[in-house]
Amino acid sequence: MERGETIDIILETGVLSFDGRVVEAFGFSFYDQTLRAHVAKLESVDVDPGGRHSDPSVTFKSGRVGRPITAYFKPEEAGDVQGLIDAVRAAAPQLAV
Protein backbone atom coordinates (compact mmCIF):
# COMPACT_ATOMS: atom_id res chain seq x y z
CA MET A 1 0.00 0.00 0.00
CA GLU A 2 1.44 3.38 -1.01
CA ARG A 3 1.67 6.23 1.48
CA GLY A 4 -1.42 8.42 1.20
CA GLU A 5 -3.41 5.69 -0.55
CA THR A 6 -6.83 4.78 0.83
CA ILE A 7 -8.65 1.53 0.20
CA ASP A 8 -12.42 1.98 0.04
CA ILE A 9 -14.53 -1.15 -0.34
CA ILE A 10 -18.15 -0.36 -1.14
CA LEU A 11 -20.18 -3.39 -0.12
CA GLU A 12 -23.88 -4.08 -0.33
CA THR A 13 -24.21 -3.63 3.45
CA GLY A 14 -21.80 -0.72 4.07
CA VAL A 15 -18.35 0.69 3.35
CA LEU A 16 -14.97 -0.43 4.71
CA SER A 17 -12.06 1.98 4.46
CA PHE A 18 -8.36 1.78 5.34
CA ASP A 19 -5.85 4.60 5.00
CA GLY A 20 -2.78 2.74 6.22
CA ARG A 21 -3.41 3.63 9.88
CA VAL A 22 -7.14 3.52 10.65
CA VAL A 23 -9.84 1.01 9.71
CA GLU A 24 -13.26 2.64 9.36
CA ALA A 25 -16.65 1.05 8.86
CA PHE A 26 -19.70 2.95 7.69
CA GLY A 27 -23.19 1.48 7.80
CA PHE A 28 -22.59 -1.88 9.49
CA SER A 29 -23.49 -0.99 13.07
CA PHE A 30 -26.72 -0.21 14.85
CA TYR A 31 -28.03 3.27 13.95
CA ASP A 32 -25.54 3.45 11.03
CA GLN A 33 -22.78 4.58 13.42
CA THR A 34 -19.27 4.94 12.02
CA LEU A 35 -16.70 2.79 13.82
CA ARG A 36 -12.91 3.28 13.73
CA ALA A 37 -9.89 1.35 14.94
CA HIS A 38 -6.21 2.29 14.75
CA VAL A 39 -3.95 -0.55 13.57
CA ALA A 40 -1.62 -0.04 16.55
CA LYS A 41 -4.45 -1.15 18.85
CA LEU A 42 -5.77 -4.09 16.83
CA GLU A 43 -5.58 -7.41 18.64
CA SER A 44 -7.11 -9.60 15.96
CA VAL A 45 -8.76 -9.74 12.57
CA ASP A 46 -11.17 -12.66 12.36
CA VAL A 47 -12.90 -13.85 9.20
CA ASP A 48 -16.07 -15.91 9.43
CA PRO A 49 -16.76 -17.68 6.12
CA GLY A 50 -20.50 -17.64 6.74
CA GLY A 51 -22.74 -20.59 6.28
CA ARG A 52 -25.87 -21.85 4.73
CA HIS A 53 -28.00 -19.07 6.24
CA SER A 54 -25.43 -16.36 6.95
CA ASP A 55 -23.11 -14.13 4.95
CA PRO A 56 -19.35 -14.05 5.52
CA SER A 57 -17.99 -11.38 7.85
CA VAL A 58 -14.77 -9.85 9.11
CA THR A 59 -14.28 -8.55 12.65
CA PHE A 60 -11.52 -6.16 13.69
CA LYS A 61 -10.99 -6.34 17.48
CA SER A 62 -9.11 -3.66 19.35
CA GLY A 63 -9.52 -4.79 22.93
CA ARG A 64 -10.69 -2.14 25.33
CA VAL A 65 -10.17 0.66 22.82
CA GLY A 66 -13.53 1.02 21.12
CA ARG A 67 -15.98 -1.62 20.02
CA PRO A 68 -15.22 -4.43 17.59
CA ILE A 69 -15.91 -3.62 13.97
CA THR A 70 -17.88 -6.36 12.22
CA ALA A 71 -18.64 -6.06 8.53
CA TYR A 72 -20.83 -8.53 6.67
CA PHE A 73 -20.34 -9.05 2.96
CA LYS A 74 -21.54 -11.19 0.08
CA PRO A 75 -19.40 -14.14 -1.08
CA GLU A 76 -18.73 -12.38 -4.39
CA GLU A 77 -17.25 -9.41 -2.45
CA ALA A 78 -14.74 -11.60 -0.58
CA GLY A 79 -11.78 -10.82 -2.86
CA ASP A 80 -12.03 -7.07 -2.27
CA VAL A 81 -12.45 -7.56 1.47
CA GLN A 82 -9.43 -9.89 1.56
CA GLY A 83 -7.31 -7.20 -0.10
CA LEU A 84 -8.22 -4.75 2.67
CA ILE A 85 -7.54 -7.38 5.35
CA ASP A 86 -4.11 -8.09 3.84
CA ALA A 87 -3.27 -4.36 3.88
CA VAL A 88 -4.37 -4.06 7.52
CA ARG A 89 -2.28 -7.08 8.55
CA ALA A 90 0.75 -5.67 6.72
CA ALA A 91 0.39 -2.40 8.66
CA ALA A 92 -0.12 -4.16 12.02
CA PRO A 93 2.80 -6.55 12.62
CA GLN A 94 1.46 -7.41 16.11
CA LEU A 95 -1.33 -9.43 14.46
CA ALA A 96 -0.86 -13.14 14.07
CA VAL A 97 -1.57 -14.38 10.56
Does residue 43 lie in a domain region? yes
Distance CA 58, CA 91 (A): 17
Largest CA distance in the chain: 39
In a domain, 46, yes or no: yes
Q: Residue 80: its pLDDT value, please?
A: 96
Per the domain annotation, does 70 fall within a domain? yes
Query: Could you give the CA distance from residue 42 to residue 63 in angstroms, rounded to a whole number?
Result: 7
CATH number of the domain to which 20 belongs: 2.30.29.30
Structural domain of residue 44, as residue ranges? 7-91
Tell me the pTM: 0.89
Residues of the chain with pLDDT under 50: none
pLDDT of residue 96: 64
Distance CA 94, CA 76 (A): 29
> Domains in the chain: how many in total?
1
